[in-house]
């Protein structure tokens, strides 16, 4: 009789598997990072050289570290061991969401009107993680790459955080656009897509539609 060989899980695979689940600390870190970015923009100014330098440097360093860890399995294993509470299995072979977060913020600083930076980051900081938690815990009906439940919560939270900043009508436009693109299986990381779509929708609502 031939013996069936059982493949032994590698240290890297074990480290990645330990990051599965709802990841509550990852959601809190996501919101905290967004709030830190918003606070920096509030005090330094979204159009300031200081803001651009800090976010640009952060994005550059994060991208370099991602390139290194994705080329070296040992470095990637260390990453998943050290940041077990913050990492996600999908980052095992892809750029980390935190890197896309910084790149998205950098693009906003470079190309979006300064007044749209904080509203866009508010949606990313609160609506996106809220949708992820609800979708994972209570999502039952599939919609694109998410669920109806998660997308509904995304929309509601986006309206709530946007209304005090841009008004109810523009908040509705921004929330609808961001929620629609967030759930599309586009392959683009939400941390890059959500703030750019939100800023674009708010810009159109304020300019083309005059809201």
Is residue 58 very low, low, confident or very high in pLDDT (cuts 50, 70, 90)? very high
pLDDT of residue 172: 96
Mean local confidence (pLDDT), 107-111: 96
For the chain, what percent of residues have pLDDT higher than 70? 94
* 124 pLDDT tier (thresholds 50, 70, 90): very high
Q: Which of 200, 208, 172, 31 is nearest to 116 (CA)?
A: 200
Instruction: Please answer whether residues 157 and 130 qualify as being in contact, where contact means their C-beta atoms are separated by less than 8 angstroms.
Output: yes
Estimate the share of the chain in helix, then strand, then coil, as percent rounded to the nearest 5: 75, 0, 25
pLDDT at 22: 79
Residue 1 pLDDT more than 50?
A: no
Is it the case that residue 176 has pLDDT exceeding 50?
yes
Rounded to an integer, what distance in angstroms lies between the CA atom of residue 149 and that of residue 141?
A: 7
Lowest mean pLDDT among 20-34, 101-115, 161-175: 20-34
Q: Specify whether the CB–CB gap between 157 and 126 falls below 8 A.
A: yes
Strand partners, 146: 143
For residue 143, list its beta bridge partners. Answer: 146
Pairwise CA distance, residues 135 & 127, whole Å: 12
Average pLDDT over residues 141-165: 94
| CB neighbour list of residue 137: distance below 8 Å, 6 or more residues apart | 22
Q: What is the pTM of this model?
A: 0.89
10 Å CB burial of residue 164 (0-12, 13-18, 19+) is exposed
Return the closest-CA partner of residue 199 out of 136, 107, 131, 128.
107
pLDDT of 210:
59
Q: Is the pLDDT of residue 125 over 60?
A: yes
For residues 189-206, average pLDDT = 94
pLDDT at 211 over 80: no
Whether residue 53 has pLDDT greater than 60: yes
């Amino acid at each position: 009789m031939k013996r069936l060989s059982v493949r032994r899980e590698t240290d890297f695979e074990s480290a990645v598997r330990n990051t599965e689940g709802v990841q509550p600390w990852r959601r809190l870190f996501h919101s905290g990072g967004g709030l830190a970015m918003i606070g920096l923009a509030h005090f330094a100014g979204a159009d300031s050289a200081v803001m651009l330098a800090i976010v640009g440097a952060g994005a550059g360093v994060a991208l370099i570290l991602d390139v290194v860890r994705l080329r070296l399995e040992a470095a990637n294993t260390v990453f998943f061991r050290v940041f077990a509470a913050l990492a996600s299995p999908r980052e095992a072979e892809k750029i980390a969401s935190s890197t896309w977060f910084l790149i998205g913020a950098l693009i906003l600083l470079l190309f979006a009107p300064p007044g749209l930076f904080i509203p866009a980051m508010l949606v990313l900081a609160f609506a996106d993680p809220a949708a992820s938690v609800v979708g994972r815990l209570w999502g039952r009906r599939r919609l694109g790459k998410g669920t109806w439940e998660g997308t509904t919560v995304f929309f509601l939270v986006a309206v709530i955080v946007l209304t005090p900043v841009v008004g109810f009508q523009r908040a509705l436009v921004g929330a609808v656009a961001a929620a629609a693109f967030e759930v599309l299986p586009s392959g683009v990381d939400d941390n890059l897509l959500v703030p750019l779509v939100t800023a674009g929708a708010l810009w159109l609502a304020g300019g083309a539609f005059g809201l």
